[in-house]
Structure 1
Amino acid sequence: MHVTSIDRYGLEPGIVTEWSLQPADGAVTESEVPPSYNQHFHLETARTHGMGRSVWMAAAFDLPGELNRPALDLALRLFISRHDTLHTGFEVGEFTTTRMGLDPDGTHIETSEPVKFDSTEDLRAHLKKRFTTVCDPLTFPAYTFATVEREEHYTVLSAFDHTLVDGYSLVIALGELRQIYEGLIAIPELTDHEAVDAVMSRLGDPGSFVRYCELEADALLPVDNDPRIREWARFYEICGGTSPSFPLDLGVEAGKPAPQGADVRVLLDEELTATFDEICLSAGGSVFTGILTAMGLSVHSFTGQATLPLQFPLHIRKDPRWADAIGWLTTSAPITVQITPDADFGASLAHTHASFRVALTLEGVTMAQVRDALGDKIRRTRTDVFMVSYIDYRKLPGTDDHDLLNAHHISNVTVADDAQFWISRTNRGLSLRSRFPDTDTANETMVNFLTDLDRILREVCARGVTPIGSVTEQLRDSSVGAGTPRI
């Protein structure tokens, strides 16, 4: 699956139809299940910062031939009926947040009038506008679907607000919707209920994300001397009593987001990724901790800062109840990159991977419990948190033919007051999506940082585990780094 943002999505023009769920009158009722910690955090951000609050994400795939509209209509309804996260939304007041629920049987799929687009730019602008309008955390339902038809093939897109899904959910959604749709196409009559039931029986138990939210709310607070809470407290002390922040100047004041900038690039091709993997393993690390170490080396080359604290998301799907569930089923973990005095990649990687192993021992403690336990020892200064995500799509089920499907994970472009990074590994190698404020300072900083990150990774691949020198002189003489970054 190729990870990108809507402004970089190379979608071929065609005829666009939107497919949206419409509840019947009286189908929506209040639920006593509170939002999860992640949902609450997201909804509070949306309420406080109305500008750019629609942090939607979408899955897209291509299929050959002509779109079968009746089959897709039924496929969407069956897909929605499986996942209770798609039956819920929220009403956010000044002091209260109420979960709303609906009976999927009291709904129907409404299609828009088809509209033809002749350019990729116009099509992207249209989808961004529609997805941003519909997939808003303060609307209900906060998701929609779209198709783009052409003479010989078509694209199916599923877009959701972040309250409803995480990145892993997009893989599940893409695979399930495709499987249901293609199974229905093979049925001579869609009214053949036994045949439809046979298609659905091939899918596993989807689990219940709403049940997860209920259990999270009932989770007991860890005791004061819980070593996992102490580790979080130590991490926040390193960060100065707040969430970690990207250490290079981005040209924005904390808590005052600017329009978002984005960068999508290939870090290493398949061959170099395999080389980098072997080097990291030989040094006792992994691809993920190796890239984090390279990021730390880059920051160190600009600032001399040897410690780089950040957070990374961890999915919680080891519990079989949530293995096939769609929802925001992630928690956050802390990690600290520590660069050795000689800026040696291998030695620094050993420190990073040791921190990563400690982070994995914190499993079982939710961010809600961490915040409650530490109380005023943590203050929130920025809207965003400096984080780096890593997904190896090769290890996720149903991704073997993603290249053939032209599968994409597409994110909205909103606002930002910090930098965030998404690393993805596929059969094609390693790619990176970056999100940051779209300011002159941030753009200069990110060009220099990403250029240097690219240099470090390739130098590691070329030399193996060897010291990485300073890049100050290289940047001073390069056209890309003309003028040192403002840090």
Structure 2
Amino acid sequence: MRQFPLEMHQVAPGRLVEWRLRSTTAPGAADRRASFNQDKHFTVAEESRADGDRVASWVAVTFEVDGVLDEPLLARALLGFVQRHEVLRCEFLRLAGEVSCAPLPAGELALDAVEVAAHGSAGRLGAFLSERFQRSIDTLSWPLFVMGAVVRPESSTVYLAFDHIVCDGMSMPVVAHQVLTAYEALVRGEEPELPPAPSYLDFADEQRRRYLSIDADDARLGYWKSFIERGGEFFPRCPLDLGVEPGRMYPIVNEASWLLDAAEAEVFEKVCRETGAKPFMGLLASVAVCLREAGGPGVYRGFMPVSERGREKWTDSVGWFVNTLPIEFDASPGKDFAQVVAGVGEGFREMMRHLDVPFVRAWELLAPEEFALRSWPYAVNFFSYIDMRRCPGAERHEEWRPTTHVWSATGNGTCSWFQRDADGLHMNSLYVDTPAARRTMDDFQEALRRTVQCVARTGGFRRPVGLTAPRRPEPDPRAARVRG
């Protein structure tokens, strides 16, 4: 399972059907508070809509069902999935200045099947779905997701796309696993058996109780304050030349590439383990060295999203279980791979000691002027890594062929997500559509590919004399860029 642009997904043509959610009763009272992440996301959507400058994003998952699709049973599986996760049944509202949500009762929901279109071209289908998600998903309107399938005589591609307010990227493997597990059970004539999935709204309540009342002098913000003092700013700047003007937002390029094939990724992991590090630490060390060689500082300073599902009870829940934290380590010239990786490990362990402090709350208290903005103030250094082989249902990924897709309307910087799966190590980047950014990201991507391949081949950053340049992977139809 990996993440790449939906427009590049080679979905075979077929008949499109969607299942649209409706309530058989009026919504109840909006008596649940949104999480810190949700509150900020909703507020930005409101403000941008008022100015006619829509800020929007979605995250989607697609997966395959072999054989003739039993559409009524898939509808039952989809409805059961929505009933199972309270956050998907929520409408978000601003009441008395606060963003609250009103969950609809699970038993008062129904699905209507709607024929959408029939497409005879696989090349246009991905673009059609991407455009449909953009038109259909609205942060300010319920429901906050789209569910459908491309139906063919011998197989079908199921898709679900969500506004970011109700889920994160790590929710996508959960979606695929639970919908397919329920569907397969129903096909066998059995009732689905799925593990408990506590409500994300309970997680949000717990988080707010702990951190809503803190102020800027709270000792729990000490890690953030020390990070700001050393760097001079709340947001760590991306050192790459992206050719952006201050205060301006740009269309987005969505680009995917292959860094290591399966065999190379295994060797890269072995090299990392031999230094006492995890593979993502070796990758982050490689990113830091490439940024430094592109003109960045010797000390890496960046943001890293971290899953808050660590407590076991949230493993099978859908929601925005992501905190963002700063990480810092030394990647100065002259340090070898083992030394830089050791610094990554120390920086990561220090970061994780402060996982509970919500990013949005720290942002609001420590950078109030920038918190009033609708986006991060400038291009920010950002690194994300997921090992898809550890996700729920990973043992069935080869059969189900799930993929994740993200989209954002505009931006002023770059974000890169790295995924490890059974096929290797991959990179998906969203960045501003400027000539400088295209050149810079091409160069950075190639430098990073050479660096991680060099680590896999030699155990370090330096390429011995006589070692030929690492080969490029075979072309992947999904490894391409798409203009937003």
Instruction: Give me the TM-score of the superposition, normalised by structure 1.
Output: 0.88
Residue 305 of structure 1 aligns to a residue whose secondary structure is coil
- Partner residue of 2:16? 16
Which one of the candidate residues 213, 218, 235 is aligned to 2:227? Answer: 235
CA distance in 1, matches of 2:227, 2:431: 23
CA distance in 2, matches of 1:82, 1:164: 14
- Partner residue of 1:46? 45
CA distance in 2, matches of 1:304, 1:440: 20
Residue 180 (structure 2) pairs with residue 178 (structure 1): yes
- Name the Cα RMSD after superposition: 2.4
- Given that residues 208 and 325 in structure 1 are in contact (C-alpha distance below 8 angstroms), is that contact kept between their aligned partners in structure 2? yes
**Alpha-carbon displacement from aligned partner over 1:23-44 (angstroms, at most 9, x marks no partner):** 23x4223322221111122223
CA distance in 1, matches of 2:58, 2:158: 16
Residue 30 of structure 1 aligns to a residue whose secondary structure is coil
CA distance in 2, matches of 1:231, 1:210: 27
Aligned length: 458
Residue 12 of structure 2 aligns to a residue whose secondary structure is coil
- For residue 130 of structure 1, report the CA deviation from its aligned partner: 1.9
- For residue 182 of structure 1, report the CA deviation from its aligned partner: 1.2
- For residue 457 of structure 1, report the CA deviation from its aligned partner: 1.1
Report the residue type matching 2:11 in the other structure: L
CA distance in 2, matches of 1:165, 1:393: 17
In structure 2, the CA distance between the partners of 1:347 and 1:329, relative to structure 1 (3 Å rule), is: same
- Partner residue of 2:279? 287
- Partner residue of 2:162? 160
Unmatched segments (≥5 aa) in structure 1: 188-194, 475-487
CA distance in 2, matches of 1:354, 1:387: 18
- Partner residue of 1:86? 88
CA distance in 1, matches of 2:210, 2:387: 30
* The 10-residue stretch of structure 1 (311-320 or 262-271) with the greater mean CA deviation from structure 2: 311-320
CA distance in 1, matches of 2:277, 2:387: 15
Matches within 5 A, 1:74-473: 74-92=76-94, 95-187=97-189, 195=190, 199-200=191-192, 202-220=193-211, 221=213, 228-303=220-295, 305-371=297-363, 373-374=365-366, 376=368, 381-382=376-377, 385-467=380-462
Report the residue type matching 2:87 in the other structure: T
- Given that residues 343 and 467 in structure 1 are in contact (C-alpha distance below 8 angstroms), is that contact kept between their aligned partners in structure 2? no
Report the residue type matching 2:326 in the other structure: P
Instruction: Give me the TM-score of the superposition, normalised by structure 2.
Output: 0.88
In structure 2, the CA distance between the partners of 1:253 and 1:36, relative to structure 1 (3 Å rule), is: farther
CA distance in 1, matches of 2:275, 2:84: 44
Residue 448 of structure 1 aligns to a residue whose secondary structure is helix
- For residue 435 of structure 1, report the CA deviation from its aligned partner: 0.9
- For residue 355 of structure 1, report the CA deviation from its aligned partner: 0.6
- For residue 421 of structure 1, report the CA deviation from its aligned partner: 0.9
- For residue 177 of structure 1, report the CA deviation from its aligned partner: 0.6
CA distance in 1, matches of 2:140, 2:155: 35
In structure 2, the CA distance between the partners of 1:147 and 1:378, relative to structure 1 (3 Å rule), is: closer
- For residue 18 of structure 1, report the CA deviation from its aligned partner: 1.4
CA distance in 2, matches of 1:304, 1:422: 20
- For residue 47 of structure 1, report the CA deviation from its aligned partner: 2.7
In structure 2, the CA distance between the partners of 1:136 and 1:102, relative to structure 1 (3 Å rule), is: same
- Given that residues 370 and 377 in structure 2 are in contact (C-alpha distance below 8 angstroms), is that contact kept between their aligned partners in structure 1? no
* The 10-residue stretch of structure 1 (209-218 or 139-148) with the greater mean CA deviation from structure 2: 209-218
- For residue 224 of structure 1, report the CA deviation from its aligned partner: 7.0
Unmatched segments (≥5 aa) in structure 2: 470-484
Residue 222 of structure 2 aligns to a residue whose secondary structure is helix
In structure 2, the CA distance between the partners of 1:22 and 1:255, relative to structure 1 (3 Å rule), is: farther
CA distance in 2, matches of 1:241, 1:378: 11
Residue 77 of structure 1 aligns to a residue whose secondary structure is helix
CA distance in 2, matches of 1:313, 1:405: 27
- Partner residue of 1:482? none
- Partner residue of 2:479? none
- For residue 278 of structure 1, report the CA deviation from its aligned partner: 1.6
CA distance in 1, matches of 2:79, 2:41: 27
CA distance in 1, matches of 2:200, 2:340: 39
